[in-house]
Amino acid sequence: MHIEATDTFIKLFRKLPSDIKDRTKKALMILAEDPDYPSLGHKKMAGHSDIFELRVSQNYRITYQKVGDTAYLRKIGTHNLLRNP
């Protein structure tokens, strides 16, 4: 899977603690290779046909929109972001 980051994602990523940034990079490498890898907790978001979430850590999540074979990273943050992906 090809991965593209939106401006919003980049701004949110820059504000993260360094350990979460490292975990995010690892999660995105796994996503590119195998979106179904169990540790990602990858799933479609309720009420959205093309927006998905994946787990970075116990408290942090990434949302992305899938268009064809490309994942457009939308947001990264704590569970609060899941209210408005």
* Domains (range + CATH), the chain: 2-80 (3.30.2310.20)
Q: Is a pLDDT exceeding 70 seen at residue 82?
A: no
pLDDT at 75: 93
CA 75 to chain centre: 7
* 44: DSSP letter: E
Chain position carrying tokens 């999540």: 61
Would you say 12 and 79 are in contact if contact means Cβ atoms under 8 Å apart? no
pTM for the full model? 0.86
Q: Alpha-carbon distance 81 to 9, whole Å?
A: 12
Chain mean pLDDT for the chain: 90
pLDDT at 85: 59
Residue pLDDT, tens place only, 27-59: 999 999 998 899 898 888 888 888 999 999 989
Chain position carrying tokens 């929109």: 65
Q: Is a pLDDT exceeding 80 seen at residue 83?
A: no
Residue 57's region, left for phi above 0, alpha for psi from -120 to 50, else beta, is beta
Q: Alpha-carbon distance 26 to 48, whole Å?
A: 26
